[in-house]
Amino acid sequence: QVQLVESGGGLVQPGGSLRLSCEASESIFSFNIMNWYRQAPGKERELVATITSTGVANYADSVKGRFTISRDNAKNTVYLQMNSLKPEDTAVYYCNARRSSAISGTRNYWGQGTQVTVSS
Protein backbone atom coordinates (compact mmCIF):
# COMPACT_ATOMS: atom_id res chain seq x y z
CA GLN A 1 0.00 0.00 0.00
CA VAL A 2 1.35 3.39 -1.01
CA GLN A 3 2.02 5.75 1.87
CA LEU A 4 2.42 9.51 1.59
CA VAL A 5 3.75 11.40 4.60
CA GLU A 6 3.47 15.18 4.69
CA SER A 7 5.51 17.43 6.93
CA GLY A 8 6.48 21.08 7.27
CA GLY A 9 3.22 22.69 8.29
CA GLY A 10 2.91 25.13 11.16
CA LEU A 11 2.05 28.64 12.25
CA VAL A 12 3.53 31.52 10.29
CA GLN A 13 2.92 35.25 10.13
CA PRO A 14 1.48 36.89 7.03
CA GLY A 15 4.22 37.43 4.47
CA GLY A 16 6.19 34.49 5.80
CA SER A 17 7.26 31.24 4.16
CA LEU A 18 6.91 27.52 4.71
CA ARG A 19 8.06 24.48 2.80
CA LEU A 20 5.90 21.39 2.83
CA SER A 21 7.30 17.96 2.04
CA CYS A 22 5.54 14.82 0.89
CA GLU A 23 7.59 11.64 1.06
CA ALA A 24 6.28 8.58 -0.77
CA SER A 25 6.90 4.98 0.26
CA GLU A 26 7.85 4.08 -3.31
CA SER A 27 9.38 5.70 -6.35
CA ILE A 28 7.46 8.78 -7.42
CA PHE A 29 8.30 7.89 -11.02
CA SER A 30 5.48 5.36 -10.71
CA PHE A 31 2.92 8.16 -10.45
CA ASN A 32 1.69 10.08 -13.48
CA ILE A 33 1.13 13.21 -11.46
CA MET A 34 1.55 14.45 -7.92
CA ASN A 35 -0.56 17.19 -6.44
CA TRP A 36 -0.98 19.40 -3.44
CA TYR A 37 -4.55 20.12 -2.34
CA ARG A 38 -5.82 22.17 0.57
CA GLN A 39 -9.01 22.36 2.55
CA ALA A 40 -9.99 25.29 4.72
CA PRO A 41 -12.69 24.98 7.40
CA GLY A 42 -16.13 24.95 5.86
CA LYS A 43 -14.77 24.85 2.32
CA GLU A 44 -14.28 22.19 -0.30
CA ARG A 45 -10.89 20.71 -0.98
CA GLU A 46 -9.15 22.61 -3.75
CA LEU A 47 -6.24 21.82 -6.01
CA VAL A 48 -3.26 24.07 -5.32
CA ALA A 49 -0.40 22.77 -7.45
CA THR A 50 0.48 19.83 -9.69
CA ILE A 51 3.65 18.35 -11.08
CA THR A 52 3.88 15.63 -13.68
CA SER A 53 6.40 12.80 -13.88
CA THR A 54 8.30 14.90 -16.43
CA GLY A 55 8.40 17.93 -14.13
CA VAL A 56 5.70 20.10 -15.69
CA ALA A 57 4.08 22.23 -13.00
CA ASN A 58 0.76 24.04 -12.82
CA TYR A 59 -0.80 26.21 -10.16
CA ALA A 60 -4.13 27.55 -9.01
CA ASP A 61 -4.53 31.24 -9.82
CA SER A 62 -4.72 32.05 -6.12
CA VAL A 63 -1.15 30.84 -5.48
CA LYS A 64 0.55 31.53 -8.81
CA GLY A 65 3.75 33.49 -8.31
CA ARG A 66 3.88 32.68 -4.59
CA PHE A 67 4.02 28.87 -4.43
CA THR A 68 6.45 26.53 -6.15
CA ILE A 69 6.03 22.78 -6.48
CA SER A 70 9.09 20.64 -7.08
CA ARG A 71 10.22 17.04 -6.86
CA ASP A 72 13.33 15.16 -5.78
CA ASN A 73 13.13 11.79 -7.47
CA ALA A 74 16.09 10.40 -5.56
CA LYS A 75 14.32 11.09 -2.26
CA ASN A 76 10.83 10.12 -3.50
CA THR A 77 9.69 13.50 -2.24
CA VAL A 78 7.58 16.34 -3.57
CA TYR A 79 7.82 19.81 -2.08
CA LEU A 80 5.61 22.87 -1.93
CA GLN A 81 7.50 26.07 -1.25
CA MET A 82 5.06 28.69 -0.06
CA ASN A 83 6.12 32.34 0.04
CA SER A 84 4.28 35.58 0.78
CA LEU A 85 1.71 33.64 2.76
CA LYS A 86 -1.68 35.18 3.42
CA PRO A 87 -4.31 34.42 6.05
CA GLU A 88 -6.50 32.94 3.31
CA ASP A 89 -3.83 30.28 2.73
CA THR A 90 -4.75 28.79 6.12
CA ALA A 91 -5.87 25.22 5.55
CA VAL A 92 -4.96 21.59 5.90
CA TYR A 93 -2.66 20.73 2.99
CA TYR A 94 -2.82 17.26 1.48
CA CYS A 95 -0.43 15.47 -0.81
CA ASN A 96 -2.00 13.37 -3.57
CA ALA A 97 -0.40 10.90 -5.94
CA ARG A 98 -2.23 9.65 -9.00
CA ARG A 99 -1.43 6.60 -11.06
CA SER A 100 -3.26 5.80 -14.28
CA SER A 101 -2.98 2.80 -16.55
CA ALA A 102 -5.11 1.17 -19.20
CA ILE A 103 -5.28 -2.01 -17.11
CA SER A 104 -5.83 -0.70 -13.59
CA GLY A 105 -7.57 2.57 -14.32
CA THR A 106 -6.87 5.56 -12.11
CA ARG A 107 -5.87 5.26 -8.47
CA ASN A 108 -5.45 8.11 -6.04
CA TYR A 109 -3.37 8.02 -2.88
CA TRP A 110 -3.56 10.59 -0.10
CA GLY A 111 -1.44 11.71 2.77
CA GLN A 112 -2.80 12.47 6.22
CA GLY A 113 -2.57 16.24 5.79
CA THR A 114 -0.54 18.95 7.48
CA GLN A 115 -1.98 22.10 9.02
CA VAL A 116 -0.83 25.49 7.77
CA THR A 117 -1.98 28.51 9.76
CA VAL A 118 -1.17 32.04 8.64
CA SER A 119 -1.89 34.52 11.40
CA SER A 120 -0.34 37.44 13.22
Query: Residue 10 pLDDT more than 90?
Result: yes
Which residues, including other chains, have CB under 8 Å from residue 95's CB and lie 6 or more apart?
4, 6, 20, 22, 34, 35, 36, 78, 110, 111
Structure letter (DSSP) for residue 75:
G
Share the mean pLDDT of the chain.
96
pLDDT tens-place string over residues 20-67: 999 999 988 889 999 999 999 999 999 999 999 999 999 999 999 999
Q: 91 pLDDT exceeds 90?
A: yes
Q: For the chain, give the percent of residues with pLDDT over 70.
A: 100
Confidence band for 102, pLDDT divided at 50, 70 and 90 = confident
